[in-house]
């Protein structure tokens, strides 16, 4: 270890992996990472870009005009910033169209329900479906009702939010589980911890062996209301009308640009988020904030004249929400060069105040154990130590936590191929309040929080691209 100044001593991080004790010296990069943080905290360009994406382009579902407008705009912005090798990776994306839709309680009262069809759902027959409702709190209750209790009915899942990963299974599989028992439609309580009677859409999947039935999200309040009526012994009837349909796959593309590395241009730190969103709201937190924070991180490097040792590449992936085709197409495009991908960073958890990064090494480690002949995982103790040391450089903005975690969806194909993956982690206080709703709009972005996201993305990508 060479002699370092007092400031850098604080940034020394001891790697505690068994059999390995080494310190990572970040003193050579801290001057520049401090500059990146200072620039990010007073930056207006990122917020202006995010506002444009939200207010002028709006939501961006795969197959929509909004997404293709966003792809062209993103390409132009990357060129304007002065990135090199700005290009598209073409990909076919699913094209689901919501159409007109509504749901009403028709008995014991006549009142509208607050609903949003789920992505991938089929339509109701013309004129809609009117049927008695059966309400369950989980799949066990559904199974107990059996065919006798479910056939011919609209199944309402009133499942309280525990965690997104837990509760979202009712949105994904609720329709097919109901159809298996003869249900004619499924209404799913929105997957959210807090509600102002706004429905939350999202992807659903039909199983291959069960009939397809229409399915929609209803607001938490409406699900609890229907549940309460049913518990009180009322005969609850609902009318559901949906025009949803799926058109042939549409043409779309990932968009990318880069700052070529000054010493190791073939080694790539790739960073981004997903450009597509649901067809409601403006996709501000999910995931406009992610793509723009990644882009702005490179814009700030350009502004400060920083050219790290390795290439830093920003990618706007498409179709994360209902297919993941953008992430897969990027992986295919990288092909044999995958060994030169040094790290992949994604931000897709909202643009709230960042607290640090999750490091997705578990996948490659598991793969290595399953296939002893496979190449060793590149999430070496040294790499982990580097990430932790770079994390320490984010202490001033409270974003220094580094923990092991899973990979975000768009970089999952890279992580599965052995590339170390990182995900920006935020406080997550309100993300699922807005997620996939009409309320995911630019006004929900807190400027100071977004600026800190830009700082964290800039410092982590720069640090990884620069450290030996
Ligand atoms: Zn997302």
274 in the same domain as 236: no
Q: What is the DSSP string of 306-354?
A: ---SEEEEEEEE--TTTT-HHHHHHHHHHGGGGGGEEEEEE--S-SS-E
428 in the same domain as 341: yes
- List 320, 346, 352, 466, catalytic entry: 320
Residue 320 bears catalytic tag = yes
* DSSP one-letter code for 203: B
C-alpha 466/C-alpha 450 separation (Å) is: 24
Q: How many CB atoms lie within 10 A of CB 296?
A: 29
- Ligand 1 centre to CA of 55 (Å) is 18
Is the pLDDT confidence value at 365 over 50?
A: no
pLDDT tens per residue, range 414-458: 988 889 999 999 999 999 999 999 999 999 999 999 999 999 999
First to last CA, the chain: 14
Residue 1 lies in a domain: no
103 in the same domain as 79: no
pTM comes to 0.92
452 in the same domain as 320: yes
Residue that terminates a domain, selected from 213, 243, 273: 243
Backbone phi and psi for residue 109, each to the nearest 5 degrees, phi listed first? -135, 170
303 close to 99: Cβ distance less than 8 angstroms: no
Assess whether the previous peptide bond of 287 is cis (omega < 30° from 0): yes
Assess whether the previous peptide bond of 108 is cis (omega < 30° from 0): yes
Tokens of 431: 């993300």
CATH assignment of the domain containing 349: 3.40.630.10
275 in the same domain as 238: no
Q: What is the pLDDT of residue 416?
A: 86
Is the pLDDT confidence value at 199 over 60?
A: yes
Q: What is the pLDDT of residue 361?
A: 62
pLDDT tens per residue, range 59-84: 999 999 999 999 999 999 999 999 99
E strands, 98-153, where? 101-107, 111-113, 115-117, 129-136
- Ligand 1 centre to CA of 350 (Å) is 8
C-alpha 129/C-alpha 95 separation (Å) is: 24
Residue that terminates a domain, selected from 193, 212, 243: 243
In what order do the strands lie in the sheet containing 101-107? 111-113, 101-107, 237-242, 129-136, 154-157, 185-189, 215-218, 115-117
* DSSP one-letter code for 439: T
Q: Which residue is associated with the tokens 């009308």? A: 241
402 DSSP β-pair partners = 357
Nearest to 422 by CA among 337, 364, 335, 340: 364
294 in the same domain as 177: no
C-alpha 380/C-alpha 141 separation (Å) is: 46
Tokens of 349: 């958890």
C-alpha 155/C-alpha 210 separation (Å) is: 15
- Ligand 1 centre to CA of 438 (Å) is 15
- Ligand 1 centre to CA of 427 (Å) is 16
Residue 81 lies in a domain: yes
What is the total count of domains within the chain?
2
- Ligand 1 centre to CA of 381 (Å) is 30
220 in the same domain as 125: yes
203 in the same domain as 275: no
Domain span at residue 142 reads 99-243
pLDDT > 90: percent of the chain: 87
Q: How many CB atoms lie within 10 A of CB 280?
A: 21
More confident residue, 15 or 229: 229
- Ligand 1 centre to CA of 316 (Å) is 12
- Ligand 1 centre to CA of 437 (Å) is 12
More confident residue, 285 or 6: 285
Q: What is the pLDDT of residue 46?
A: 98
C-alpha 221/C-alpha 158 separation (Å) is: 10
Is the pLDDT confidence value at 127 over 80?
A: yes
pLDDT band with cut points at 50, 70 and 90 for residue 129: very high
- Ligand 1 centre to CA of 273 (Å) is 8
């Amino acid at each position: 270890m060479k002699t370092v100044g007092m400031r850098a001593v604080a940034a020394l991080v001891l790697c505690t992996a068994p059999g390995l004790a080494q310190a990572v010296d970040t003193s050579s990069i801290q001057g520049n990472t401090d500059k990146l943080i200072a620039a990010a905290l007073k930056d207006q360009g990122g917020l202006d870009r995010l506002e444009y994406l939200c207010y002028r382009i709006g939501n961006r579902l795969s197959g929509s005009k909004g997404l293709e407008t966003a792809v062209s705009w993103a390409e132009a912005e990357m060129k304007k910033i002065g990135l090199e090798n700005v290009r598209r990776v073409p990909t076919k994306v699913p094209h689901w169209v919501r159409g007109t839709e509504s749901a009403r309680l028709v008995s014991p009262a006549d009142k509208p329900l607050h609903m949003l069809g789920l992505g991938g759902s089929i339509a109701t027959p013309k004129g809609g479906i009117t049927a008695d409702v059966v309400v369950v709190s989980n799949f066990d209750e559904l199974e107990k009702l059996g065919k006798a209790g479910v056939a011919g009915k609209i199944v309402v899942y009133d499942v309280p939010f525990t965690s997104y990963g837990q509760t979202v299974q009712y949105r994904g599989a609720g329709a097919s589980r109901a159809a298996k028992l003869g249900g004619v439609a499924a209404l799913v309580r929105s997957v959210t911890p807090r509600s102002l009677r706004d429905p939350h859409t999202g992807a659903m999947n039909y199983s291959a062996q069960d009939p397809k039935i229409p399915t929609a999200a209803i607001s938490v309040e409406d699900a609890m209301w229907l549940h309460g009526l049913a518990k009180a012994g009322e005969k609850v009837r609902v009318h559901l009308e949906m025009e949803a349909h799926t058109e042939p796959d549409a043409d779309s593309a990932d968009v990318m640009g880069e700052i070529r590395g000054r010493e190791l241009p073939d080694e790539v730190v790739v960073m981004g988020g997903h450009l597509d969103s649901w067809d409601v709201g403006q996709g501000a937190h999910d995931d406009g904030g992610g793509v723009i924070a990644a882009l702005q991180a490179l814009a700030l490097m350009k502004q400060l004249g920083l050219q790290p040792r390795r290439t830093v590449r920003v990618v706007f992936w498409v179709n994360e929400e209902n297919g993941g085709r953008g992430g897969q197409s990027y992986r295919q495009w990288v092909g044999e060069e995958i060994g030169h991908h040094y790290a992949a960073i994604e931000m897709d958890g909202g643009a709230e105040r960042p607290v640090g990064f999750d490091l997705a090494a578990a996948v490659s480690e598991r793969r290595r154990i399953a296939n002893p002949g496979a190449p060793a995982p590149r999430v070496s103790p040294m790499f982990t130590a580097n990430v932790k040391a770079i994390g320490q450089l984010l202490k001033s903005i409270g974003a220094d936590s580094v923990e092991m975690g899973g990979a975000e969806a768009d970089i999952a194909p890279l992580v599965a191929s052995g590339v170390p993956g990182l995900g920006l982690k935020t406080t997550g206080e309100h993300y699922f309040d807005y997620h996939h709703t009409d309320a995911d709009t630019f006004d929900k972005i807190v400027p100071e929080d977004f600026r800190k996201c830009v700082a964290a993305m800039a410092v982590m990508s720069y640090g990884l691209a620069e450290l030996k």
